[in-house]
């Protein structure tokens, strides 16, 4: 077994495993637990007040939430085949796995992944048929679960099939570069280089929310990818209560992301996810933080601050230059107005 697969296998998988490793006192948690021991050691060293602990150690509050939605961004509304979500005209999300390198306690797909929603059942022939019938789809976004937890062989099979139906761009959204950086090894680099002539762009969007997540291993791996591949390296972050909800922490994060050679792309306002509502903050607070952030970092370093309108209506800018106060409605890309309940 290669190193990264060994790291993945050697993981804490239950509240009891977590209690034994961290000395916590968790009872039954309704949602899955999963932390590779190599990353658990980093969390332990960072301690209970750290952003790592707050993001990845389960909390008893997850069980007690009545607010929040099972599918906050309306994945199922746009599911066109199993594992395929077509929400925007020229791009589609592909969900090849429910497995992640760690379980982020705030995850927007927390319920769909835990309860193994039908959406994740494989039916690749239908996916390919749908893409053949919809040549307007130019980009496939591998999401999940985490697509980079798949073997190189499986990724090769998918990339080959997408190249054969004329997909122009590939994008991976992944937490793997932060949690198991050793997965992005020589073989992975070879795989990316093998396909870089078959697609116009291959993008890796690394998910990270705090500068504490950037270890020396992460920096080394990203530097190598930058040198040895044509990957477009972007980031996405989620604004999370008590993790990164102030402009100084975010400014540190985006400078740290820039320093390792990644361009900040998205800052997501947290979704209204059942079991993750203790990370939620209201839109006025988010706007105030973003306003302060604009004063602390240059324009080229500022990500798009966006919010997914519940019900599957897609992303919309979360910042409003006309008002920090929230009116109670949001406008989607078709100029339709939607009510949005700003919970705290």
**For the range 58-64, what are the long-range contacts, defined as Cβ-Cβ under 8 Å and sequence gap of 24 or more?**
58/15, 58/18, 58/26, 58/29, 58/31, 58/33, 58/105, 59/105, 59/278, 60/26, 60/27, 60/29, 61/278, 62/29, 62/30, 62/31, 62/105, 62/275, 62/276, 62/278, 63/28, 63/29, 63/30, 63/275
Closest approach of ligand SF4 to the CB of residue 310, in Å? 17
Under the rule (CB under 6 A), what is the footprint of ligand SF4? 100, 103-104, 107, 109, 144-146, 175, 207
Minimum CB separation of residue 6 from ligand SF4 in Å reads: 19
Cβ pair 112, 119 in contact under 8 A? yes
- Say how many C-beta atoms besides its own lie within 10 A of residue 86's C-beta: 18
Peptide bond into 214 cis (omega under 30): no
201's CB contacts (< 8 A; 6+ apart) are 168, 169, 170, 232
Provide the minimum distance between the beta carbon of 22 and ligand SF4 in the complex, in angstroms, as a whole number. 19
Contact 192, 155 (CB under 8 A): no
| CB closer to ligand SF4 out of 58 and 144 | 144
Q: Are 7 and 38 in contact (CB under 8 A)?
A: yes
Q: Which is nearer to ligand SF4, 167 or 205 (CB)?
A: 205
Name the minimum Å distance from CB 105 to ligand SF4. 8
The minimum distance between CB 26 and ligand SF4, in angstroms, equals 18
Q: How far is the CB of 101 from ligand SF4 (least distance, A)?
A: 6
Return the number of the residue (222 or 297) whose C-beta is nearest ligand SF4: 222
Q: At closest approach, how far in Å is the CB of 34 from ligand SF4?
A: 8
Residue 179 CB, nearest distance to ligand SF4 (Å)?
8
* Residue closest to 209 by CA, chosen among 243, 164, 181: 243
Residue 103 C-beta: closest distance to ligand SF4, Å:
5
Would you say 40 or 297 has its CB closer to ligand SF4? 40
**CA-to-CA distance for 233 and 172, rounded, in angstroms?**
10
Cβ-based nearer residue to ligand SF4, 270 or 312: 270
Number of neighbouring beta carbons within 10 Å of residue 117? 18
CA–CA gap between residue 24 and residue 109 (Å, rounded): 25
User: Which residue's CB is nearer to ligand SF4, number 4 or number 297?
Assistant: 4
C-alpha to C-alpha distance for 262 and 283, rounded to whole angstroms: 27
Cα–Cα distance, 281 to 284 (Å, whole number): 9
CB 280 within 8 A of CB 316: no
With respect to ligand SF4, which residue has the nearer C-beta, 140 or 297?
A: 140
The residue (of 265 and 287) whose beta carbon lies closer to ligand SF4 is 265
| Closer of 139 and 271 to ligand SF4 (Cβ) | 271
Q: Backbone phi, then psi, for 213, in 5-degree steps? A: -80, -15
């Amino acid at each position: 077994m290669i190193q990264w697969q060994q790291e993945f296998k050697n993981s804490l998988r239950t509240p009891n495993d977590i209690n034994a490793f961290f000395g916590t006192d968790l009872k039954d948690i309704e949602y899955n637990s999963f932390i590779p021991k190599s990353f658990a050691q980093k969390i332990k060293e960072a301690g209970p007040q750290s952003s790592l602990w707050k993001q990845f150690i389960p909390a008893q509050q997850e069980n007690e939430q009545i607010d929040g939605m099972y599918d906050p961004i309306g994945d199922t509304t746009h599911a066109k085949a199993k594992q395929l979500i077509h929400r925007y005209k020229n791009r589609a999300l592909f969900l090849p796995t429910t497995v992640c390198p760690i379980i982020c306690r705030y995850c927007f797909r927390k319920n769909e992944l835990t309860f193994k929603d039908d959406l994740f059942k494989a039916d690749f022939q239908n996916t390919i048929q749908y893409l053949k019938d919809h040549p307007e789809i130019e980009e496939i976004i591998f999401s999940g679960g985490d697509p980079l937890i798949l073997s190189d062989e499986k990724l090769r099979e998918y990339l080959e099939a997408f190249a054969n139906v004329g997909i122009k761009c590939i994008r991976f959204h992944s937490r793997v570069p932060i949690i198991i950086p050793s997965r992005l090894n020589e073989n992975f680099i070879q795989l990316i280089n093998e396909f870089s002539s078959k697609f116009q762009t291959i993008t890796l969007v690394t998910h990270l929310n705090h500068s504490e997540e950037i270890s020396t291993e992460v920096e080394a791996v990203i530097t190598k990818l930058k040198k040895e591949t044509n990957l477009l390296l972007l980031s996405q972050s989620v604004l999370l209560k008590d993790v990164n909800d102030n402009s100084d922490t975010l400014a540190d994060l985006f400078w740290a992301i820039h320093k390792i050679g990644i361009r900040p792309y998205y800052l997501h306002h947290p979704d209204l996810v059942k079991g993750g509502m203790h990370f939620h903050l209201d839109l006025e607070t988010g706007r105030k933080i973003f306003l302060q952030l604009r004063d602390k970092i240059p324009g080229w370093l500022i990500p798009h601050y966006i919010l997914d309108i519940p019900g599957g209506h897609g992303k919309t800018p979360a910042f409003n230059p006309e008002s920090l106060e929230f009116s109670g409605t949001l406008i989607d890309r078709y100029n339709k107005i939607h009510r949005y309940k700003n919970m705290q």
